[in-house]
């Protein structure tokens, strides 16, 4: 999960800082996808703002918890600074110039371990000139990806605990459903914790995100199911008749 924000902005030209954030976030997510990582979208504006608020007040542990609850194994957060530095004349016209600075940190959300911390800066540029910031982001992102891949080589990511709330399932169908679940790649454990009136609660441990698990469950063949919702660490499923 990627969260980029500004810690310094020029209030008169708020759009400059906001645009820098969006560009950097999109750029990092694209590079991660190109390198085979699965990027999780927070899916909710409120959740994203909670993560940003935690980071802004210097509380990465709280931000990690929110990201981990949503299924992210790694939270990448960054600070973008496009702060006003002065006015320069370009072709005789006054142009406002802004700094181009970006700092990135990557945390393992479950343990809080710092996987990467880095900083890049480029000379100031005009308000609409985003190339220097993009260049700095590219260099920093390459170092970030190298650090994450090194971490993956040195240790297998821990499995995440997810609950499955399964409705419209008979008791006789439970063993068959569990057998299908256990064939999902990355699923380490699946255990029934409760059953009542056609409703089962199953606890799983899975190497991957909540969204990826939901996607794989929806593709099960032997017992067709429909994913009807998911949030935090819980997926709601209905067995098709």
Listing DSSP states for 4-59 in one string gives EEEEE--GGGHHHHHHHHHHHHHHHHHHHHHTTPPPPP---HHHHHHHHHHHHTT-
Number of structural domains the chain divides into: 2
Q: Are residues 189 and 228 in the same domain?
A: yes
For tokens 């694209």, name the residue: 30
Secondary structure of residue 199 in the 3-state scheme: strand
Say if residues 148 and 116 touch (Cβ distance below 8 Å).
yes
What CATH number has the domain bearing residue 55? Answer: 3.40.50
Q: Are residues 63 and 140 in the same domain?
A: yes
| Tens-binned pLDDT, residue by residue, of the chain (241 aa) | 888 877 555 555 555 544 556 788 889 999 999 998 888 876 555 667 788 778 777 777 788 888 887 778 899 988 888 888 888 888 888 888 888 899 999 988 877 888 999 999 999 888 778 889 899 999 999 999 999 888 877 765 567 889 999 999 999 999 999 999 988 888 888 999 999 999 999 999 888 888 889 999 999 888 889 999 988 789 999 998 7
Q: Are residues 13 and 73 in the same domain?
A: yes
Q: Are residues 8 and 119 in the same domain?
A: yes
Q: Are residues 28 and 86 in the same domain?
A: yes
Q: Are residues 201 and 101 in the same domain?
A: no
pLDDT at 65: 83
The helix (H) or strand (E) run that includes residue 232 is: none
State residue 27 phi and psi, 5-degree precision.
Answer: -65, -45
Give how far the C-alpha of residue 86 lies from the chain's centroid of Cα atoms, to the nearest Å.
36
Distance CA 120, CA 100 (A): 9
Distance CA 181, CA 170 (A): 16
Q: Which residues pair with 2 in a beta bridge?
A: 76
Closest to 230 (Cα-Cα) out of 160, 159, 158, 163: 163
Helices (H) and strands (E) in the chain, counts: 6, 10
Q: Are residues 9 and 67 in the same domain?
A: yes
End-of-domain residue from the set 125, 154, 183: 154
Q: Are residues 17 and 135 in the same domain?
A: yes
Q: Are residues 12 and 94 in the same domain?
A: yes
Say if residues 126 and 153 touch (Cβ distance below 8 Å).
no
User: Which pair of tokens denotes residue 232?
Assistant: 């935090």
End-of-domain residue from the set 124, 154, 184: 154
Q: Is 86 left (phi over 0), alpha (psi -120 to 50) or beta?
A: left
Distance CA 136, CA 100 (A): 8
**Domain containing residue 221:** 160-239
pLDDT at 92: 82
User: Which pair of tokens denotes residue 99?
Assistant: 């700094």
End-of-domain residue from the set 114, 133, 154: 154
What CATH number has the domain bearing residue 213? Answer: 3.30.70
Q: Are residues 149 and 165 in the same domain?
A: no
The helix (H) or strand (E) run that includes residue 188 is: strand 187-196
What pTM was computed for the model?
0.58
Q: Are residues 66 and 179 in the same domain?
A: no
Closest to 98 (Cα-Cα) out of 88, 110, 90: 88
Q: Are residues 109 and 182 in the same domain?
A: no
How far separated are the first and last CA of the chain, in Å rounded? Answer: 36
């Amino acid at each position: 999960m990627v969260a980029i924000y500004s810690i310094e902005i020029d209030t008169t030209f708020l759009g400059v800082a906001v645009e820098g954030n969006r560009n950097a976030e999109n750029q990092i997510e694209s590079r991660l996808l190109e390198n085979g990582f699965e990027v999780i979208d927070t899916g909710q504006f409120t959740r994203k703002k909670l993560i940003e608020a935690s980071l802004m007040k210097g509380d990465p542990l709280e931000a990690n918890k929110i990201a981990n609850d949503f299924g992210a194994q790694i939270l990448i957060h960054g600070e973008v600074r496009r702060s006003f530095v002065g006015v320069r004349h370009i072709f005789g016209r006054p142009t406002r110039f802004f700094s181009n600075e970006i700092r990135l940190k990557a945390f393992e959300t479950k343990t809080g371990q710092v996987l990467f911390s880095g900083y890049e800066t480029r000379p100031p540029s005009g308000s609409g000139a985003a190339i220097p910031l993009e260049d700095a982001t590219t260099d920093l992102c390459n170092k970030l990806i190298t650090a994450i891949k090194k971490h993956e080589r040195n240790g297998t990511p821990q499995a995440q605990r997810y609950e499955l709330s399964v409705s419209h399932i008979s008791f006789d169908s439970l063993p068959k459903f569990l057998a299908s679940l256990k064939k999902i790649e990355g699923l380490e454990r699946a255990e029934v914790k409760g059953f009542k009136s056609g409703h089962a609660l199953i606890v799983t441990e899975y190497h991957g995100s909540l969204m990826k698990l939901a996607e794989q469950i929806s593709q099960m063949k032997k017992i067709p199911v429909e994913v009807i919702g998911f949030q935090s660490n819980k997926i709601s499923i209905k067995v098709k008749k």
